[in-house]
Structure 1
Amino acid sequence: MENQRKDRRIKWLILLIPTLTIGLWEYVRHAFLLPYISMDLGNLLAPFIVLAVTLTLVRGLFARLEQSQRALQAEKEVKASLEERESLARELHDGISQSMFLLAVKLDQLEELDKEGPVWELANGLRETVRVMHEDVRQAIANLREPASPAKAAWVVPLRGLLGETAELTGARAEFVWTIPDDSLTDKEKIELHACVREALMNVRKHANASRVYVVGACDGQGGFRCSVEDDGVGFEGNPLQVQGRFGLRMVRDRAKAMGWSFLAERRGSRTVVELVKAGKKANV
């Protein structure tokens, strides 16, 4: 609201300054300069005076207005992203989470009907699978509803925390190397990059069986960056984006595509690498 009031004041100033300038010039000319400057010369000087004022005062106001509009647009993008996260969290809670809870109840009833034999063993195995999936959904809902503060310089701290949690749960050694300047990313880029790293680390937790895990973020010096999650685990079998029942890397790919980043998931020597790259401006020339 405050930004909107500032924008209105700037717009009024842009409109009024040329008018006030020409009015002030005419007053000074007639009141003080008429004996020294003829009418024709005064009329000739008027547009140049307005131009000089425009290039100084009005040009600065235009720059401030453009800066304010960019800040407002960035704020709208962050708000839209957070609303999308909240909407997705509600859908997960009201749909998948509750359905899985009902499925667990049905499996309990099935176990009561046959407490021994193959049916009981199958139901018991399915219930354990449902429990794990239910925990994953609950964790996803919690992550979506975490209050994001992308404007703070310490936004990278949660990324290091995610890596630490992964190392603690898997027993792997963790290494965090981050050199991307905070001011080189927009608020939306920070939110999306955080979500991509989280999904990649969840994939490491579930499937990699790694002894070392790395999160690397580096700038290219041209306004772009490279961010990767790497591990020395078992690697991929075939195309990881086509494995049935695994959606984490597909979500990372889709988020990257929506942001205009390149996505790569491959084996490099002894490491499995999930990489996101934003091309710098000079690189596109």
Structure 2
Amino acid sequence: MIPLRIKISLFLIPAIVIGLFETLRHTLLENILPIELGNWLTACIDAGVIALVARSLFLAYANKERELSRERASRAVMEERERLARVLHDQIAQSIFYSGVQVSAAKVKLQQGRDGSVEQNLNDVLLSLREIDENVRQAIFNLKQDTIGGSDFRKRIRLFLDKTLSGKSISWDLEMSEGDITLSAADQVQLFGILQEGITNIVKHSKATQVTVRLMSRSEDNAHWSFTIQDNGIGFNLQNVRDGRYGMEIMANRARDIGADFHVESSPGNTQIRVER
């Protein structure tokens, strides 16, 4: 909100200054200052006074914009940390609980002398522990990233793709526009979240061997862009997307939060997740 003193100044100060000048002009300066020159001086003084007074207004707006920008960035990071907390609770805690159930079942079978069927329970425990390990590593990776501090977004994506895909026999490629695309801290947080969700789906379901991630500018000022995750996997039925599977609703919500459009196209050998603004 504009301070009251600035509102009053915008109305009163120019009027007072011009009023004083016009009084001087038509009294003391009447025989000295030509009418045409006096008119030009009045206009220049009026413009100068308004510019000086308005400077306070512009500074107030600039400060408010910086505050809003910091608030949006902080909110985006807080939302991301809340998402990580949900991952820790929903995925890791459940996996630990499931492992405990399997260990208990194996213990009962051993007590009953059914040694032959214990192996399946132990295999399930091992798979659950591997999933816990992967989720914990990913959560740690996310928490270590300094989005507000201005860490290089390209480097962050490259590091994530390398850590996630290189050990899965999935080759990957990253393509980004040469110019500096305008991405706020909130944009980076939400796009990175979409990338994580998309890559996780590819690893778990797609049977892909190649992944390409693109962040390309769509305008000369780099304010409009397209973010694409593409793989050569088996694809999926888009009806499953409408049924809320594969975290598509989460990704769509993330895109909507930053004012972007979310698109999904899938066919055998070519699946694309695309976010555009």
TM-score tier by shorter-chain length is 0.7 to 0.9
Q: Which of 167, 170, 176 lines up with 1:169 in the alignment? A: 167
Q: Which amino acid aligns with 1:35?
A: L
Q: 1:1-285 maps to which residues of 2 (within 5 A)?
A: 16=9, 34-37=27-30, 51-93=46-88, 97-115=92-110, 116=114, 119-150=117-148, 152=150, 154-179=152-177, 181-182=179-180, 184-221=182-219, 223-237=223-237, 239-241=239-241, 247-267=246-266, 270-278=269-277
How many residues were matched structurally?
Answer: 266
Deviations 1:192-215 (A, max 9, x none): 112111221222222223222111
Instruction: Give distance in 2, aligned partners of 1:168 and 1:57.
Output: 59
Deviations 1:140-197 (A, max 9, x none): 5335523432462722210111222234122232211101744522221121112111
Alignment check: 8 A CA contact 1:111 1:124 kept: yes
Change (3 A) 1:226 1:269: farther
Alignment check: 8 A CA contact 2:170 2:208 kept: yes
Taking structure 1 as the reference length, what is the TM-score of the superposition? Answer: 0.74
Instruction: Give distance in 2, aligned partners of 1:145 and 1:67.
Output: 31
Instruction: Give distance in 1, aligned partners of 2:237 and 2:13.
Output: 73
Instruction: Give distance in 2, aligned partners of 1:205 and 1:24.
Output: 71
Which residue is equivalent to 1:283?
none
Alignment check: 8 A CA contact 1:174 1:213 kept: yes
Identify the range of structure 1 (82-91 vs 184-193) with the bigger mean alpha-carbon deviation.
Answer: 82-91
Change (3 A) 1:191 1:90: closer
> Where does the alignment leave 5 or more consecutive residues of structure 1 unmatched?
1-6, 279-285
Instruction: Give distance in 2, aligned partners of 1:33 and 1:62.
Output: 32
Identity level (%): 11
Identify the range of structure 1 (213-222 vs 176-185) with the bigger mean alpha-carbon deviation.
Answer: 176-185
| Aligned-pair Cα RMSD in Å | 3.8
Alignment check: 8 A CA contact 1:218 1:227 kept: yes
Task: Report the 3-state secondary structure (helix = DSSP H, G, I; strand = E; otherwise coil) of the residue aligned with 2:144.
Answer: coil
Post-superposition offset of 1:53: 3.0
Q: Which amino acid aligns with 1:233?
A: G
Post-superposition offset of 1:218: 0.8
Change (3 A) 1:70 1:52: same
Q: Which amino acid aligns with 1:224?
A: H
Q: Which amino acid aligns with 1:209?
A: K
Change (3 A) 1:126 1:168: same
Task: Report the 3-state secondary structure (helix = DSSP H, G, I; strand = E; otherwise coil) of the residue aligned with 2:216.
Answer: strand
Task: Report the 3-state secondary structure (helix = DSSP H, G, I; strand = E; otherwise coil) of the residue aligned with 2:152.
Answer: helix
Task: Report the 3-state secondary structure (helix = DSSP H, G, I; strand = E; otherwise coil) of the residue aligned with 1:198.
Answer: helix
Alignment check: 8 A CA contact 1:18 1:53 kept: no
Identify the range of structure 1 (230-239 vs 121-130) with the bigger mean alpha-carbon deviation.
Answer: 121-130
Post-superposition offset of 1:264: 2.0
Change (3 A) 1:119 1:103: same
Alignment check: 8 A CA contact 2:10 2:50 kept: no
Taking structure 2 as the reference length, what is the TM-score of the superposition? Answer: 0.75
